Amino acid sequence: MTNRIIICEPSEIVANGLSETINGMAGFAVVQRVDTPDRLSEKILAVDANILIVNPILLGFSERNLPSQLIKEYPHLTVIAMVTTYMEEQVLKQYNGIIELNDSKLKIINKLNQIIQTDDKTEKNDDVELSKREIDVLVAVAKGMMNKEIADRMNISIHTVISHRKNITRKTGIKSVSGLTVYALLNNLIDETEVYK
């Protein structure tokens, strides 16, 4: 399986160089580049990335916990810091690994392979645990809401709703709306009075 990487880096030079290096490696592909952390969670989902390389300087004080939040939200995601300037050790601790500006090509290759192997997140791809957002979508589906309605209600795009639904089906093995309703009931996510009127 090819590792799908999303790069979040403000410097054109660094982003270009990183993409160039990674795209030359077997098993890794940069699927998207962004220069701000805005709506990063949605973008990760949209391109189905399993690795995020982000420059910590992009994350201000209010976003300082974003890496650990994302790892929690997407258990199969590996988050790597692209370090271009001095960073507190405390900040870098929450990342699964770091790449530094002066790393050689070989070093980057080794680091990426090593991070992926030690994490072995590909295994966790089969994780059955639904994320908070997925549970919200599941409940909405069980209540009979349409994708458009759910998107409006949760303030996300329809595309994102569909991605969540795909993940819900992958994790639970349940495809139909009526099946998802039973799943939600069995797990006490909704009450019978909310669905069977």
Q: How far is the CB of 173 from another protein (least distance, A)?
A: 5
Nearer residue to another protein within complex by CB, 25 or 162: 162
Q: How far is the CB of 147 from another protein (least distance, A)?
A: 17
Q: How far is the CB of 158 from another protein (least distance, A)?
A: 21
Q: How far is the CB of 110 from another protein (least distance, A)?
A: 40
Encoded tokens for 67 = 């890496």
User: By the 8 A CB rule, do 105 and 112 touch?
Assistant: no
Burial bucket for residue 66 (CB in 10 Å: 0-12, 13-18, 19+): buried
Nearer residue to another protein within complex by CB, 24 or 173: 173
Main-chain dihedrals φ then ψ at residue 100, nearest 5 degrees = -110, 160
Q: What residues make contact with another protein under the rule CB under 8 A?
A: 172-176, 178-179, 181-183, 185-186, 192, 196
Beta strands of the chain (E only): which ranges? 3-8, 28-34, 51-54, 78-83, 97-100
Nearer residue to another protein within complex by CB, 62 or 188: 188
DSSP-based three-state secondary structure for 6: strand
Nearer residue to another protein within complex by CB, 82 or 184: 184
